Amino acid sequence: MKDYFKEIFELFANCLMILTLALSAHLLLSNVYHYIEVNKSYNYNLNESKTYISFKENVKEIENNINKVDVDNIKDINRRMTALTYKSKTEQCLNEIKTSDFYNLEKNSFKPADIYDYNKTFSSKINSYCTLLLEAEVTDAINKYNIKVNGYDAVKNNLIRARDDLSTDALRLENRLLFNSSYFWTTDTVRNTIYNYTSDVFFTNLSNYSRLTSVIEESSIWYVNEFGGNR
């Protein structure tokens, strides 16, 4: 009887070991498939993207506009200091944009990790410099130097609205990318779902970059109209 129970125990132990090995193999292969999924490249021809072209053109227009104002020739010292504040903060914004990987893309093949990084840079740096800091610093300068400006309320409201909307959207895209993967076997359905989600995030992110620069371009037009007369 003792040997019988010993054999039963050994059989149970062997079965448990086999099940453990099978589960380990399954998890290992699942992770391999997961790695393949999240490292798959997706092709987008940005040279044919009107949104990307518009984004780059917006940046050029912003640069042109801030260079139209000769700040040193503004006679009123308070207006000059306010104009300098706008110019310096906008130049910081442009620097963040022009040094970003997204602005300097020289490829048409992207991995989900690339798209995640573009969105992360947008939310953590570019949106902060181009909406939050720009609006806060210019508003503070206008109040500090007690100058009268025309049409700034609309500019301010647009910057605040863009800041909030784009921040919320960037967080949503980040979460969508993080959960856009599978630890199950890759099927056509899973593969297509990941591709569609990745494509959606990429083009929404592209739209966010374009929208942001459009708002900044509008503010630069206000800047020229308000300070271009050298008053």
The DSSP letter of residue 1 is -
Counting residues of the chain whose pLDDT is more than 70, the rounded percentage is: 75
Show the tokens assigned to 201.
Answer: 């995030």
The first and second tokens of residue 92, run together, are 């910081």
Determine the pLDDT at residue 207.
93
3-class secondary-structure state, position 230: coil
Q: What percent of the chain has pLDDT over 90?
A: 54
DSSP codes of every residue in 114-178:
HHHHHHHHIIIIIHIIIIIIHHHHHHHHHHHTT---SSHHHHHHHHHHHHHHHHHHHHHHHHHHH
Percent composition of the chain: helix, strand, coil (DSSP 3-state, to 5): 80, 0, 20
Q: What is the pLDDT of residue 181?
A: 54
At residue 147, the pLDDT reads: 95
Q: Which of 190, 189, 171, 169 is nearest to 180 (CA)?
A: 190
| Per-residue pLDDT band at 107 (split at 50, 70, 90) | confident
* pTM given for the model: 0.79
Residue for token pair 């999924």: 37
CB count within 10 Å of CB 211 equals 18
pLDDT in the model for residue 183? 45
In the numeric block, the tokens 């020739």 are attached to 73
State mean pLDDT over 93-99: 97
Q: Is the pLDDT of residue 148 over 90?
A: yes
Is the pLDDT at 85 greater than 50, yes or no? yes
Average of per-residue pLDDT across 22-48 = 65
Give pLDDT tens digits for 110-120.
887 888 889 99
C-alpha–C-alpha distance, residues 117 and 174, integer Å: 9
Two tokens, residue 175: 């979460």
Supply the pLDDT for residue 5: 57
Q: Are strands 109-110 and 42-43 parallel, antiparallel or unpaired?
A: antiparallel
Q: Which helix (H) or strand (E) holds 59?
A: helix 50-67
- pLDDT category at 185 given cuts 50, 70, 90 is very low
Mutual orientation of helices 77-98 and 50-67 as an angle, nearest 10°? 150
